[in-house]
Amino acid sequence: MDNALRKFERRHKSITKKHQQLARGYVTRLGKNGLIEHQPMRQLPRVSVSSFVFFVAGFVGFKTFLLIKLGESEYLTHVSTLSQGGGLEKVGAWLMGIDPLTAWSMAHAAPIFG
C-alpha cells in the first residue's frame, strides 16, 4: 500500500506542476499518435534591472580592486598584452580598460584600501 501511495503522490505532483505551467500559457499541437496535446510555452528567463545593476557594480568593483592592487602601469601592461590576442581577447581588453566609472571608483577606494 505504501508503494501505491508514493506512486500516487508522484503522479499527483507531476500533474499539479504541469497544470501550473499550462496556466502560464500553452501551445496546442497534434502529436505523432494523432492526439491533440497541450504543451506549456517555453519562457526565457528575464533579467531584472536590479540584477543587471548588481552585475555591473560587481564588475566595476573587480576592475577597481585589480587596478588598486596591481597599480595603474602594471594593469595597463596586462590590458595591452590582452589586446594583442585574438577576437575574444580584444573584447576582454576593451571591457577591462579603464573607463570613467572605474577611474572614479579607484580614486574613492584607493585611500581606503591603499
Task: With H, G, I as helix, E, B as strand and everything else as coil, classify residue 99.
Answer: coil
62 grid coordinates: 573587480
Residues with Cβ within 8 Å of 63's Cβ and at least 6 positions away in sequence, in order, are 96, 98, 102
DSSP state of 97: S
Please choose, from the candidates 102, 96, 56, 99, the residue with its C-alpha nearest in 3D space to the C-alpha of residue 78.
96
CB 26 within 8 A of CB 40: yes
pTM of the model: 0.59
99 phi and psi, to 5 degrees? Answer: -100, 170
Rg over alpha carbons for the chain, rounded to the nearest Å, is 26
DSSP state of 34: S
Q: pLDDT tens string for the chain (114 positions)? A: 689 999 999 999 999 998 998 888 888 988 888 899 888 888 777 888 999 999 999 999 999 999 999 888 999 999 999 999 888 999 999 999 999 999 999 888 888 876
